A and B are shown apart, each in its own frame.
Chain A
């Protein structure tokens, strides 16, 4: 009974994440791809081979110059600890849930580079409990990998080769597919939503359509990720779907195409105000006219292009200052694109320094091209922001181009676990890295290795905002644990008060805008200084 409640709770959380995540970005545990069809023993044996390869690759390429002995020791630490856990059905189930909880919770509450086996949108929850139970042994291998990578600076990641290609597509905003989200209903594949501009929309697929077969392969009782893998393919190739909607069953051929995402939103939108626990409260007031609000959901291949277009709109509207909101990433960002965006927003100067394995430091510089030139800029980050977002914020702040407003978000989940999150709190000594992918396991896997360490121009990691805002997200528990939560709430309230006391006094009207209000306050100050000079 408890487990079922637990599971439901997790599904609830995931649905929140899935809204902002890429719902078809499937996970791929080692066990699933590293061919365990021949049984757990074979999987374990192959895993040993993989361990050797991974340690060798890390020893060769990791920026910190870790040696084989150190890495082997860390691997033994995690595997020996796992071995100590008695393998009983209950214990295994508990461990599976633990891994699941990690996979689900950590992306939402912890911002460091994630371990290899956590994906942006863990779909494991879509699997039935029975399926999870069937994967006991390989799952324990996965768990060991996760713990091992957590013990390596920069948290390397092991990604199936196909998944790595897809992640690169996402980063560059060049994902190839049909433009759908995928889920499971009545034990068949469904597309809960159809993305605008994708080939599924052009083919007239309705949201919620059931997909009974893909190129003749029945989706009945099949996991969503297998369906998603079959939907993916080269751009321009054709796929035949057997679909069922209100018009009945029929076959439909659709051509795979690029699915482009908008990464910069909001030049004509109002920003979301602070979360309202009481829906009857008046909505947050509008932004002052002269201040543009841009919400960036990803630092991707298209972001600079979109910012250029946004600049035209901002200038046409005669707006005098810009808020760039990096608090709610929708897809994983990339250091490369953080560099391109930082370069585009900065007029000449050092963005940061990159240090390679030999300790050679290279200054990464910006050219003189500068979007929003002359307009004061405020950047919002939160505990959800990606490392690439934090890198951008740090570069802009270190160059004096922007003020950074940092929102601490505290999630009170109905597990009763308040999480006081702080960007990079767990990696403060590690910082941010550029990664290079090295093929392992006969090219089936890509090992993403931190090969270059990024140092800030002058300051150290983590990036700390010029101002801090404190937000407590409250989710009403489906099954209450109010007694457990109450003391945590009290502790948070105290912390919140302490942090907010560090900010300059905020006018009441701006308080209603939450951290955006703090940004407005900074920008108004900058504008009045500019006018005075």
Chain B
């Protein structure tokens, strides 16, 4: 556990606030609304726009944007700090911003520099605590809201996984942190400033967390991949290989580190054959127990009175990722991330979209943006079970093993590879038989996702989007450069670069590295080593859980064991790539 000085640059800025209604942001790219909080005092909702870097206040009755706050940078998340203030996690430049949303004439705000890139935050139900997670740095930091101005508030807690969503439990003391990619759940005791437990559930892409109505249960939206099944038409069709899930677990099981977190679990499989519910995301539970969730891959808002029996599904905008309820619970406000819009849905009868409020100026999308929409669109798959994102979470990997026939065999599940930096790593697939990214895209959609063949324009759009996915460099560990330089020398001495050739740290051939899959495949195309630090499993079947195990246990291409001090140097170098 380390403590960082919190540098606070207290600034009071007078933002230009236009007369109502304000002009919408008209950037050169999608503004990407990502988070929403309803503000009952003002009968409005505040929406955070990732790329615009702003907050907007939306009058959902009138269907107009009242005010804009910011820009603050690249916005990662937002929550309500107090009736007067919203708090914003800004990933670039890394900072927290507290915005006064009640101020009439100006959006006064204060900015706190943050030592790592914040990727999510949550304020406890009593408003006393703030939790900030940093995905790449695998850290969570909990602090008292009152201490936000102190230079050294709270303490950072290291996590064994990259944190994604988080949720304060009803005691306002314990924080649930979900894996950004896989299925791990951590409980943080904020009062003690320590990690209370880490457990796993059969899940990946945990994209939504919500408290149940009486605070006894936590609801999670996620996906699950099932071993023993393949990405055949039948296994996709029947939900054999991948399912979309709304799960609730008991808070008491979460709080007891020795309890089976699934002991009182209830699982609802979302969607049905013929109409799946790919990529469930935002979720909230109404005071009468009605579950309201977005199915982000199929552009739907769904609600259900009986928890799984009678879902009503309403089409909204592109990639609805977040949802909030109006104070009377009669309407759902749905954030359409790739449409720059907010859908207002009446939660009665079959459900009705009452209005769609634009949050940006409609314009022609770039190839990359069109490709991004395809990437997150489960309708490209058979019946809408999965999108590219379902396995390559946000362009990275869900860390699962999938038996997807890419190497032409069955019962040979392979680790899903990250797509960060993918444009530089041709050829593709573990056996390297797909020469170009276009080939891989076509193969994935028709074979793995069992979708219809893509048009050429769709393929080139997807490739354009994939080409924008870069290895994250901001989260390189702050390691001693001497150690890294030593690791590089070991890397060179061992001739690792013969297969993992700089600058992409891969090469076009396949190699026998002493590994065999279940059907005897013993030649693999080397995955790129760039961005390796973001991995949670290594080698084709994920047999090494830590990078060190690749050398210690698997003795990957080693003729003799590494010396005790060589291993830290080599892994430090690899993690710096």
Contact = CB atoms under 8 A, between A and B. Distances in A.
Interface of A: 172-174, 301-302, 304-305, 308, 312, 315-316, 336, 339-340, 343-344, 347, 362, 364-365, 367-370, 373-374
B227 A301 contact: no
15 contacts: A172-B232, A172-B235, A173-B238, A174-B233, A301-B235, A302-B238, A304-B240, A305-B239, A308-B239, A312-B309, A339-B228, A362-B518, A368-B200, A369-B224, A370-B262
B239 A364 contact: no
A368 B202 contact: yes
B234 A174 contact: yes
B262 A367 contact: no
Nearest to B264: A374
B306 A368 contact: no
Interface stretch (B85-93, B267-275, B359-367, B500-508): B267-275
Contact of A340 (B228, B269, B273): B228
A304 B238 contact: yes
B262 A347 contact: yes
Interface of B is mostly: loop
B265 interface: yes
A367 B226 contact: yes
Nearest to A305: B238
Contact of B267 (A302, A343, A362, A369): A369
A312 B273 contact: no
Closest 7 CB pairs of A and B: A172-B234, A301-B234, A339-B228, A305-B238, A368-B202, A369-B202, A367-B202
Contacts of A364: 228
B201 interface: yes
Contacts of A302: 238, 273
A365 B233 contact: no
B462 interface: no
Contacts of A315: 266
B253 to A, nearest CB: 12
A339 B237 CA distance: 18
A229 B265 CA distance: 48
Contact of B227 (A365, A370, A373, A374): A365
Contacts of B5: none
Given A305-B273, A339-B228, A368-B202, A312 B268 contact: yes
B404 to A, nearest CB: 16
Contacts of B561: none
B323 interface: no
Contacts of A308: 239, 269
B280 to A, nearest CB: 15
Contacts of A304: 226, 238-240
A344 B227 CA distance: 10
Given A312-B308, A316-B309, A340 B233 contact: no
Contacts of A339: 228
Contacts of B268: 312
A6 B573 CA distance: 82
A369 to B, nearest CB: 5
A368 B266 CA distance: 13
A343 B227 contact: yes
Interface string B273-308: 100000000000000000000000000000000101
B24 to A, nearest CB: 43
A367 B239 contact: no
Contacts of A373: 262, 265
Given A174-B237, A305-B273, 11 more contacts: A301-B234, A301-B235, A302-B273, A304-B239, A305-B240, A340-B226, A343-B228, A362-B518, A367-B202, A367-B224, A369-B267
B220 to A, nearest CB: 13
A503 B266 CA distance: 35
A23 to B, nearest CB: 22
A362 B265 CA distance: 30
A364 to B, nearest CB: 7
Nearest to B241: A340
B25 to A, nearest CB: 43
B240 to A, nearest CB: 6
Contacts of A374: 263-264
Contacts of A312: 268, 308-309
B229 interface: yes
Contacts of B201: 368
Nearest to B200: A368
B226 A343 contact: yes
Interface in B215-261: 224, 226-229, 232-235, 237-240
A356 B374 CA distance: 42
Nearest to A306: B238
Contact of B238 (A301, A368, A370): A301
A291 to B, nearest CB: 20
Nearest to B201: A368
A370 B267 CA distance: 9
A256 to B, nearest CB: 16
Nearest to A342: B228
B374 to A, nearest CB: 25
Contacts of A365: 227
Nearest to B518: A362
A73 to B, nearest CB: 30
A344 B266 CA distance: 14
Contacts of A347: 262
Given A301-B240, A305-B273, A365-B227, A173 B234 contact: yes
Tell which of B201, B234, B267, B308 has the most Cβ of chain A within 10 Å. B234
Contacts of B235: 172, 301
Contacts of A368: 200-202, 262
Nearest to A340: B228
A38 B228 CA distance: 46
Nearest to B235: A301
Given A301-B235, A308-B269, A347-B262, A340 B202 contact: no
Contacts of A316: 306, 309
Tell which of A316, A336, A365, A374 has the most Cβ of chain B within 10 Å. A336
A310 to B, nearest CB: 12
A488 to B, nearest CB: 43
Contacts of A172: 232, 234-235
A488 B233 CA distance: 50
Contacts of B227: 343, 365, 367
A373 B262 CA distance: 9
A370 B201 CA distance: 11
B267 to A, nearest CB: 7
A369 B201 CA distance: 8
A174 B267 CA distance: 26
Interface string B330-355: 00000000000000000000000000
A339 B228 CA distance: 7
Nearest to B199: A368
Contacts of A362: 518
Interface string B409-442: 0000000000000000000000000000000000
A172 B226 CA distance: 16
Contacts of A370: 262
A444 B201 CA distance: 46
A365 B401 CA distance: 14
Contacts of B265: 373
A173 B273 CA distance: 13
A343 B235 CA distance: 14
A183 to B, nearest CB: 28
Nearest to B232: A172
A312 B202 CA distance: 19
Contact of A336 (B202, B228, B267, B308): B228
A396 to B, nearest CB: 15
A340 B518 CA distance: 19
Contacts of A336: 228
Given A174-B233, A316-B306, A368-B202, A340 B262 contact: no
A344 B226 CA distance: 9
Nearest to A338: B228
Tell which of B202, B268, B518 has the most Cβ of chain A within 10 Å. B202
